[in-house]
Amino acid sequence: MVVMDVLALVALAGWLYLALAHGGFWRTGPGLPDGREPPGWPDVVAVIPARDEAAVLPETLPTLLGQEYPGEFRVVLVDDGSTDGTAETATGLAKDTQVISARERPGGWAGKVWAMAEGVRAAGRPDFLLFTDADVAYRPGTLKRLVAEAVTGRRDLVSQMATLRTRTRWERVIVPAFVYFFAQLYPFRRVTRDGTRTAAAAGGCMLVRRTTLEKAGGVAAIRDALIDDVAMGRLIKRAGGRCRLDLGRDVLSRRPYPRLADLWMMIVRSAYHQLRYSPVLLAGTVLGLLLLYAIPPAATLTGLIGRDPIALAAGALAWGLMTLTYVPMLRFYALSPLRALGLPLVALLYAAMTVDSARRHHTGRGGVWKGRTATARLDAK
């Protein structure tokens, strides 16, 4: 019982820190402000890396092309070795979209990042580059809000995390927790705050000031990044750029994940990479997940059964804080707050995905995405 008491108290201390002093990671607002008018509207080029995206482009590309932007705006779609007619679909949807084929990828480059670089090469010299995914749709006025924040807020990177789909049972289980854990790793308010080391972005929507990107070394500086959005955020911030990251409803992902296997692959392809392929970090992450998410309910039940007031009180308080911090994310996705009580089980599922990511890497099957496999030195998407 003494061991459980200690573990419960450590878990409680962890949740007190996370809830009260970790950048308000659990808050989901406020999103980009509306109604700002910069003194002038800079030129923007959207760069879309696309690999086998013919099925989703009719839902997404028109929403980007339909943005009523007062300045010059154009779209460059990079066909990254597609076999499903992605280029033809994009051309058919809008003849004024510049569709190019990515050249052969050099050694040392991740697939998606090379496609991004090809798009930058074709974009010329606009004031801003909007890196966006082929499965992302935009609500009316989003581009104006992004640019207005960048200009009036003097930001070098403005990023919006796309609202992911939660239509299927497994999407409703996995997706809110995915965003919650991301925000826990990279609290949005700390990313936005000047002077902090926390840096990240959301790859579905990254508006980047071109001159700042060039000063930082260009896309080539993150050539081997599997998690390109976090790498981009770090690159811009380390170069002295000012960043903003939000979770809002302006940017919507249309990619479906109907089965657990689909969501599982989304996570395992990059989880071990995020841990820098380190067994030590892997062990620490799994133990941390168990301590923060499994110990509180275990201590609560142990305290009830064994009449241990310390384990009961510390476990219940920690579980309560965990639950309360998860409720805003569930509300954002219009899901029942009662789901928050099951977060420990979802965290255990994520621990299993992380372990599986390491297993796949060590068996030579890590980072598989659309027919490409990443290695420890070469990340591909």
DSSP structure string for 308-357: -HHHHHHHHHHHHHHHHHHHHHHHHTT--GGGGGGHHHHHHHHHHHHHHH
Is 38 within the bounds of a domain? no
- What is the mean pLDDT of the segment spanning 22-36? 88
Are 177 and 280 contained in the same domain? Answer: no
Are 122 and 218 contained in the same domain? Answer: yes
pTM over 0.85: yes
Share of the chain above pLDDT 70, in %: 96
Any idea what DSSP says for residue 104?
A: P
- The domain that holds 243 is classified in CATH as 3.90.550.10
Are 154 and 239 contained in the same domain? Answer: yes
CA atoms in the 13 A half-sphere facing the CB of 78? 26
At 377 the pLDDT is: 41
Is 376 within the bounds of a domain? no
Is 332 within the bounds of a domain? yes
Residue 109 amino acid letter? W
Are 272 and 325 contained in the same domain? Answer: yes
3-state secondary structure 199-255: CCCCCCEEEEEHHHHHHCCCHHHHCCCCCHHHHHHHHHHHCCCCEEEEEEEEEEECC
Residue 375's CB: how many other CB atoms inside 10 A?
12
Are 155 and 284 contained in the same domain? Answer: no
Reported as a single tens digit per residue, the pLDDT across 269-294 is: 989 989 989 999 999 999 999 999 99
Are 246 and 331 contained in the same domain? Answer: no
Reported as a single tens digit per residue, the pLDDT across 330-379 is: 999 999 999 999 999 999 999 999 999 999 999 887 666 566 665 444 33
Reported as a single tens digit per residue, the pLDDT across 111-167 is: 999 999 999 999 999 999 999 999 999 999 999 999 999 999 999 999 999 999 999
Q: Where are the beta strands (DSSP E) in the chain?
A: 44-50, 73-79, 98-101, 128-132, 136-138, 157-163, 205-209, 243-253
Are 305 and 157 contained in the same domain? Answer: no
Are 216 and 337 contained in the same domain? Answer: no
Are 128 and 230 contained in the same domain? Answer: yes
Of the residues 236, 258, 280, the one at which a domain ends:
258
At 364 the pLDDT is: 83
72, 101 contact by CB (below 8 A): no
Is 369 within the bounds of a domain? no
Dist. CA 51–CA 57, nearest whole Å:
11
Is 145 within the bounds of a domain? yes
Are 206 and 345 contained in the same domain? Answer: no
330, 339 contact by CB (below 8 A): yes
Is residue 109 over pLDDT 90? yes
Are 334 and 275 contained in the same domain? Answer: yes
Residue 233 amino acid letter? G
Q: Where are the beta strands (DSSP E) in 28-116?
A: 44-50, 73-79, 98-101
At 381 the pLDDT is: 36
Q: Which of 359, 366, 355, 357 has its CA nearest to residue 290?
A: 355
Is 371 within the bounds of a domain? no
Dist. CA 298–CA 301, nearest whole Å:
5
Q: Note down the domain range covering 318.
A: 2-23+262-362
Q: Which of 378, 307, 288 has its CA nearest to residue 17?
A: 288
Q: Which is more confidently placed, 323 or 28? A: 323
Is residue 66 over pLDDT 80? yes
Can you name the residues that pair with 372 across neighbouring β-strands?
369
Q: How far is CA 69 from CA 37, 120, 145, 160, 305, in A?
A: 12, 20, 10, 18, 63
- Give Cβ neighbours of residue 100 (< 8 Å, ≥ 6 apart): 76, 77, 78, 79, 118, 119, 122
Are 325 and 294 contained in the same domain? Answer: yes
Reported as a single tens digit per residue, the pLDDT across 156-174 is: 999 999 999 999 999 999 9
Dist. CA 360–CA 269, nearest whole Å:
9
Number of domains in the chain: 2
Is 29 within the bounds of a domain? no
Is 124 within the bounds of a domain? yes
